[in-house]
Amino acid sequence: MNLESRHIIVTGAGAGIGLGVARQCVAAGATVTGMDWKTDGKDQLTRLGAHFMQVDVMKPEQFQEAVVTAHDRVGRLDGMVNNAGTTIKRDFLEMSVEDMDMLWEVNQRSVLVGTQAAARLMVGKGGSIVNLASVHATTSNPGHEAYAGTKGAIKAMTRSMAWSLGPRGVRVNTLSPAMTQTEIVIDAMKDPENAETFRSWGADHEVSTVDEIGAAAVFLLSNAASALNGTDLVADRAMTALLWPQLEKAG
């Protein structure tokens, strides 16, 4: 799982899972370009030794240009982690077209645009792309219909991309986390009842950290995962392996 001499782009890198991915990539020896639409995480990324770029993945042309700029700054691009995403929990009958469009643009279209932009620079040279999906792609809760749809689409697109890009030397896989200790979850876990509920969803009674998800991304980016293409790595501590009515309470 050595990423020395490799350049990795991570979107949504300013916080949460994206920051964990960036941190673990740097720890594995990679040169990291962290992209985020907000500047809140710039200082954290800079302290890690990563290069920060303010990029709005909802603007395809800006996003595509940023990927090329990042490549040109380093002189190469070896990996791309399409992590940027958002969610809305809303009663299905109240979900608006505007809500659906926003989720599609951020979650699904950005993955398509980012993968395409990165792959154009990797063809003939080799590379690995990791697209963040979610356990919501296969098992979800009421109120997350549109979100689950975007994550299911990411898995489907990635399977197809594997055959489009694999013969050209580029691997593409999805990584599907479950409950993870992002800033919002950590804050919610200050309530002992919430903390106990969240932990009960994992077979080992733990909630994944962003660095654990980051380490899984590093694995997929590395030569250790050279046999994996078009697959989905589920990082859920066995949550989705159990039929358990209490999971319906999940946020």
Burial 225-242 (b: 16+ CB within 10 A, else e): beebbbbbbbbbbebbee
Listed residue (186, 189, 162, 184) closest to 173, CA to CA: 162
In a domain, 201, yes or no: no
pLDDT at 102: 93
Residue 188: pLDDT above 70?
A: yes
In a domain, 217, yes or no: yes
In a domain, 155, yes or no: yes
In a domain, 126, yes or no: yes
Which CATH number belongs to the domain containing residue 50 in this structure?
A: 3.40.50.720
At 244, the pLDDT band (50, 70, 90 cuts) reads: low
| Number of folded domains that form the chain | 1
In a domain, 148, yes or no: yes
In which domain, by residue range, is 24 found?
7-180+210-244
Q: Taking CA 118 as the corner, what is the angle to CA 116 and CA 121, rounded to the nearest 5 degrees?
A: 110
Query: pLDDT tens for residues 114-131?
Result: 999 999 999 999 999 999
pLDDT at 141: 83
pLDDT at 247: 52
pLDDT at 46: 97
In a domain, 100, yes or no: yes
Residues serving a catalytic function are 147
Residue 245: pLDDT above 70?
A: no
Mean pLDDT of 1-17: 96
> Do the bridges between strand 79-82 and strand 51-54 make them parallel or antiparallel, or are there none, so unpaired?
unpaired
In a domain, 185, yes or no: no
pLDDT at 142: 86
Mean pLDDT of 184-199: 94
pLDDT at 246: 54
In the predicted model, what is the mean pLDDT of the chain? Answer: 94
Q: pTM score > 0.75 for this model? A: yes
In a domain, 138, yes or no: yes
pLDDT at 10: 98
Q: How far apart are CA 47 and CA 127, in angstroms?
A: 26
